[in-house]
Amino acid sequence: MNGLKKMLSLLSILFMFLQVPSQTNASNLEVNIKQIKDLQDVFITTLDPHISKAIREYYKVKGIPMRSYALWDAKILEIQRLEEGSFSFKVTIQIRTYTGTHNPPEGVETMTFNISPFGVKLLEFVHHEGEPQDFLTGDKIGSCFACSVIPLTGSIVQ
């Protein structure tokens, strides 16, 4: 009987030790997710002047009234470090644009920026008229209708 009590005591102690790290890991995971979300928000906020300028220039060239977007609705699709150890990145983001404060989205803009210690440069601006379903699922848009691309030269390609 004493042997059984010792065995149960040992198993109980072992079980308690195994439970503690998983609770700590869950807590750390929640903190890490919040930190990642905060970093994404800081990053989008920092890019806001460049995003707004790209939208303004695109719609000015098209002769369409200026559209707005919401910072909370911006999505980071990809961040690529251009060279290992460097601080130059190629970043692709996606936003939904709308006219007025309570209107539904009218288009989806996908922008690619080069970000380095020398500044931020718009590499590509792709406009998708309407609201492609892929934006809601988080997938990249593979094909679209009524797409316009602004390449490096700044001219618009239909």
pLDDT in tens, 93-102: 999 988 877 6
Q: How far apart are CA 2 and CA 23, in angstroms?
A: 32
Matching residue, tokens 């300028």: 53
| Better-predicted residue by pLDDT, 100 or 128 | 128
Separation between Cα atoms, residue 94 and residue 104, nearest integer Å: 16
- Evaluate whether 92 touches 111 at the Cβ level (below 8 Å): yes
Q: Does the predicted TM-score (pTM) go above 0.75?
A: no
- pLDDT score at 79: 93
Q: Is 123 exposed, middle or buried (0-12, 13-18, 19+ CB in 10 A)?
A: middle
Q: What is the largest CA-CA distance in the chain?
A: 88
